[in-house]
Amino acid sequence: MQVLVSHLFIDSLTSPKPQKKEFKKKNLYALHSTFFFPFGIQIQFTINTEGPLSVLFIAELAYKCSDMNYGSSSRSSGFDSGNRTSRRSVEYGRTYVVKPKGRHQATIVWLHGLGDNGASWSQILETLPHPNIKWICPTAPTRPVASFGGFSCTAWFDAGDFSEEGPDDIEGMDASAAHVANLLSTEPANIKLGIGGFSMGAAIALYSATCYIHGKFGNGNPYPINLSVIIGFSGWLPCYRSLKSKVEVSQDAIRRAAALPVLLCHGRGDDVVMYEQGEKSAEVLRSAGFQNFSFKTYNGLGHYTSPEEMDDFCKWLRMKMGLDGSRSY
């Protein structure tokens, strides 16, 4: 193996790069890549290798470095998803908060993708023209991830495949959905609540939506908060096979599904969470009775965000949440 590290730096205050790559099996043999790690660490390297373990070794080494500057962490508290297993207690990384610059009308928890942290998205969200929104950007626990060869990185749940066809880690998704509900549970009663995310974060946002519609987490424990919006960038819908039956379980579930505003955005050039997976998620949501639903697609967009996508996102929020004082974007 021959490795050339062109730069390695730690800078938690700089704006994130537009491209947010995540790991997947078919990309493990890339000859030249840039990976984004917790707390702003970036490694750009060229690799000649005969197998994926060489790449994973470099990635694991970067995580060892990033652990020294990772920030504060906390255990999940408050509402409990109800899991009682031998799994060690889950510790979350640092949570970043972007305070509203105007009258506080809404709070949205935004969830990062695999291997990222809350800091990068907090820097993006702080620039949006919505002074009435408080943004909460938590950092996922560090855990082994099957799609990452079993190595540990920040992840909201274990995933062997970035698609709705992959096996569902219900325990992990319940724990993360409960953590998000905890973060929103202390907001004032008159504040609208929402959940959004990128990639794996989008999957948890959509999973939280299904829990809200059903009124329960996957393990049967009550879902404790009311949601006003759900947003997903470059993500997929977990547990899609059971969604329709969850909605049809009661008139309340049917009503909640029909009323909840949901925005999904996906690039047609996405080579991590394939566009077809986002399209299938949209079809399932529509067929399950999500009537207040928008699916926006972008030609040439890969697994990252674009100004056009952010513009559509801002316009959609302004329309669906009825916020005061939103600036033109």
**Residue 80 catalytic?**
no
- Strand 152-154 and strand 96-98: the pairing is unpaired
Let me know: does 114 contact 161? Beta carbons within 8 Å: no
CA atoms in the 13 A half-sphere facing the CB of 275: 13
**Residue 120 catalytic?**
no
Whole-number Å distance between alpha carbons of 143 and 84? 18
Selected catalytic residue, list 199, 208, 234, 281: 199
Whole-number Å distance between alpha carbons of 178 and 184? 10
Selected catalytic residue, list 130, 214, 266, 303: 303
Whole-number Å distance between alpha carbons of 269 and 273? 10
Q: What torsion, rounded to 10 degrees, do the Cα atoms 150, 156, 162, 166 define?
A: 80
3-state secondary structure of 295: strand
Whole-number Å distance between alpha carbons of 274 and 267? 8
Selected catalytic residue, list 66, 270, 281, 326: 270
Whole-number Å distance between alpha carbons of 233 and 158? 19
Whole-number Å distance between alpha carbons of 53 and 59? 10
Burial class (CB in 10 A: 0-12, 13-18, 19+), 131: middle
Dmax of the chain from CA atoms? 61
**Residue 54 catalytic?**
no
C-alpha of 208 from chain center: 11
Amino acid at 109: V
Q: Please give the positions annotated as active site.
A: 199, 270, 303
